[in-house]
Amino acid sequence: MPDLPVDTADIARLQASLSGLATRVRPLSLARDRVLALHPALAPAFPEGGLRRGSVIACTGQGAWSTALALTTAASQAGSWSAVVGLGAIGLSAAEEWGIALDRMVAVPAVPAAQLPTVLAALVDGVDLVIADGAGIRSGDARRVSARLAQRGGVLVLVDRIGGFSPDLTCEMHTEAWQGIGDGFGRLVARRVCLSVSGRRMGRERRLHLVVTGADHQVTMAETRHRVVAPAASSAVIAV
């Protein structure tokens, strides 16, 4: 897992490093499927069943980082390179538990807001998926990064704050219940979560109820029988 410098004097080195990375991974990236893969349990919540290339996706709420990692897993396992800005050692351990390939992940420590647009633009040139907090990015810089995304076919996943970006989709995952705990006994083995996805590129909000399980530091997801699906335009959200 490359760990790249972020001091002002090292921005040029960052760009040079990613330029070399882009040369190595671009044959895979430029295969250009229209969407990047999603875990099968998550795909029904997204209009195209995957992450559309060139899009900006916001992950908000209490489980924002977990949501971002969950969205990245399938593409990473399929061979895509990813990059994350500002995710510490504990977070990288969580990324590995979700199944993200750390040998194809570029890790960049947190950077000042003034440097973040330059760092994001360099990352977008070299990898398919970039995860970052958008705090402090001005609208003009956000538009330039978004244009770069559209040109390169990457996906930017914003965690918590979106700055000056206008996300195509907004995702929020919250825990509904924990499983495995009895009255003073047992251990946590799974949690039920609700994933909601909304945005300007879709009609109504879509929701999925999922079960996230952890065993041997591997995280898997399975749909429950209570799944909420996107309704027709004339009806309300219903559970099946």
Domain CATH for 134: 3.40.50.300
State which of 118, 138, 170 marks the end of a domain. Answer: 170
Q: What is the pLDDT, as a whole number, of residue 182? A: 63
Closest to 158 in 3D by CA, of 147, 142, 174:
142
- Same domain flag for 137 and 217: no
Whether 145 and 190 map to the same domain: the answer is no
209 and 196 within one domain: yes
C-alpha neighbours within 13 Å on the C-beta side of residue 101:
12
Same domain, 152 and 95: yes
Q: Are residues 126 and 223 in the same domain?
A: no
Has residue 2 been placed in a domain?
no
Closest CA to 202 of 232, 169, 172: 169
- Residue 3 is assigned to a structural domain of this protein: no
pLDDT at 227: 41
Residue 162 domain flag: yes
Cα dist from 150 to 85, 107, 191, 200, whole Å: 20, 23, 36, 17
Nearest to 117 by CA among 151, 140, 88: 140
181 and 208: one domain? yes
The answer to whether the pTM exceeds 0.85 is no
Query: Is 1 among the domain residues?
Result: no
Query: In a structure prediction context, what are the per-residue pLDDT tens digits for the chain, which is 240 residues long?
Result: 555 555 555 666 665 666 555 555 553 444 457 899 998 889 999 999 999 999 999 999 888 998 999 999 999 999 999 999 987 665 788 888 888 999 999 988 888 888 899 999 999 988 999 999 999 899 999 999 999 999 999 999 999 999 999 999 999 998 887 777 665 566 667 788 889 999 987 888 999 888 887 654 344 555 444 343 333 332 222 222
Of 123, 155, 170, which closes a domain? 170
20 and 61 part of one domain: yes
pLDDT score at 235: 24
Do 72 and 112 reside in the same domain of the chain? yes
pLDDT for residue 168: 96
**Number of folded domains in the chain?**
2
> What was the pLDDT predicted at 217?
36
Same domain, 91 and 139: yes
Asked if residue 156 and residue 88 are part of one domain, the reply reads: yes
Query: Which positions ≥6 away from 134 have C-beta within 8 Å?
Result: 58, 116, 142, 158, 159, 161, 162, 163, 164, 165
Domain termination site, one of 139, 170, 201: 170
Domain span holding position 24: 8-170
